Amino acid sequence: MARPANPFRPGFNASPPVLVGRDHLLDAVREALAVAALDGRTPRPIVITGTRGVGKTVALGEAAALAASEHSWPTVHVEVRPGRDFTPLLTERVIAAGHLLEHTTADERRHPVVTGGRVGASALGVGGEVEVHLERREPGPVDPLEAALRAAMRTAMEEDAGLVITLDEVQYAQRAELAGFTAILQEHMADQWPLVVLVAGLPSIREPRRTVTYLERGEWHELGLLSLDEAEQALTGPAADAGRPLSPDAARALATESGGYPYAVQLYGHHAWRASTGADRILLEHAEAARIAARRELEAGLYVARWNDASEREREYLAATARLILRSGEATGGAVAAELGKAATEVSYLRDRLIKKGTLYPEGSRLLFITPGMAEWVAGL
């Protein structure tokens, strides 16, 4: 039995149907692509930071889509995993991208990413597959990744094309390995490779002991919470396009409940759509049902996970922050310290750690729980 598909996608790494509040980043991506494709220069890397759930991975996907649709450039994407080197996989995928550039036309390359040795050409619109055979070479004096990049860039320039590399979850990368990768990029800046590099990670990648010089000189973008208007736009657009528009009061209620946290926007929209099954519009009563269902899901998932990830001292800081928010409507670092009977300098490290973990979010002088409703949950423990 057919039914209207739910347009909201509350999964991490799931692209929302409408990307809002990220125009500054997408403009930067378009400019970097233009510098590489039209000006004949290698642009600075783009570095995206933000807590979990704000859309870093989605932004990388949008960059890949822009490269494909506007320039017919493929993107090599690698997600760094804890305790694993990323350069061997990156090397294989760069080789695969080089083969793709050599054996396909610009029209055939209108697909987002190269994620393995077999490139599905059905995504390119040609109805077949391009089989990529990766050569296993004996170790030599040239770094394998550098050799792969040199070959891919030579092919790209011969084909009047280019390549995008997106590297996600960079906080898991070993600093020495990341430095080795960026050293290759820096060494070949004078070669004017048609190469755009984007990396994404948690705010901790800004720490001096984690970052590397080449990235420090990149173009940094921090993704945060959406404004109330942006959250409403992310809710109303997909609902209207899917044939079940939101009433203005329902849209405002859901946007307010989401706190502008992109993951929560999708979660509340998802449950509002489910609650309104059979209706022509999503009304305030459906928004209220969505609030209850989404809060229950958040309690069982993110609240517990982030509480369990906190140390005993961090939990004390979170509890004090929650009490202040419920009592006075807001919390600041100084007020939380006073609530704990400490000087601000004594507990500032706790504030910083909780911000880097993505549990708290600074907005000016105020501290917020990035996950909506968590203050009430913590205060009730």
In 3D space, the residue among 168, 162, 163 whose CA is nearest the CA of residue 58 turns out to be 168
Q: Report residue 289: phi and psi, to 5°.
A: -65, -40
Provide the token pair at 64: 């890949």
Q: What is the CATH number of the domain that holds 188?
A: 3.40.50.300
- Tens digits of residue pLDDT in 194-205: 999 999 999 888
Could you tell me if 89 and 173 lie in one domain?
yes
Does residue 14 sit within a domain? no
The average pLDDT across 368-376 equals 93
Which of 254, 286, 307 terminates a domain? The answer is: 307
| Residues 127 and 157 placed together within one structural domain of the fold | yes
- Top-confidence residue, 11 or 315: 315
Report the C-alpha gap between 361 and 321 in whole angstroms.
12
298 and 314 both lie in a single domain: no
Judgement on whether residues 163 and 260 belong to the same structural domain of the protein: no
On whether both 122 and 254 belong to a single domain, the answer is: no
Q: Clarify whether residues 325 and 217 are in a common domain.
A: no
In this structure, the answer to whether residues 202 and 253 fall within a common structural domain is: no
Whether residue 16 lies inside any domain: the answer is: no
pLDDT given for residue 4 in this prediction? 84
The count of other CB atoms within 10 Å of the CB of residue 220 is: 17
Do 276 and 290 share a domain, yes or no? yes
Tell me the residue range of the domain where 314 lies: 309-379
Q: What is the pLDDT of residues 115-143, one digit of tens each?
A: 554 443 323 322 333 444 444 444 556 79
Is 4 a member of any domain?
no
CA distance 238 to 241: 5
Residue 79 lies inside a defined structural domain of this protein: yes
For residue 259, give the CATH number of its domain: 1.10.8
Q: Are residues 211 and 293 located together in one domain of the fold? A: no
Has residue 163 got a pLDDT over 60? Answer: yes
Mean pLDDT of 50-65: 90
Count the domains in the chain: 3
Determine the pLDDT at residue 321.
97
Phi, psi angles (nearest 5°) of residue 75: -120, 135
- Give domain status of residue 1, yes or no: no
In a domain, 51, yes or no: yes
Residues 184 and 261 grouped into a single domain? no
CA-based end-to-end distance of the chain: 44
What is the rounded distance in angstroms from the CA atom of residue 323 to the CA atom of residue 315?
A: 12
Query: Tens of pLDDT along 328-353?
Result: 999 999 999 999 999 999 999 999 99
Structure tokens, 292: 């209850």
Residue 53: the pLDDT is: 87
Nearest to 34 by CA among 196, 180, 271, 165: 196
Mean pLDDT of 61-70: 92
Rg (CA), the chain: 23
Question: In the chain, what percentage of residues exceed pLDDT 70?
Answer: 90
Q: Choose among 81, 354, 34, 62: nearest CA to 221.
A: 62
Give the whole-angstrom CA distance, residue 253 versus residue 249. 6
Q: Give the distance, in angstroms, between the CA of residue 94 and the centroid of all CA atoms in the same chain.
A: 22
Among 247, 276, 307, the domain boundary falls at 307
Phi, psi of 274, rounded to the nearest 5 degrees: -65, -40
CA dihedral 326, 328, 331, 335 (to 10 degrees): -120
Q: pTM for the full model? A: 0.83
164 shares its domain with 38: yes
Considering the domain architecture, whether residues 263 and 145 belong to the same structural domain is answered as no
Rounded to the nearest integer, the mean pLDDT of the chain is 88
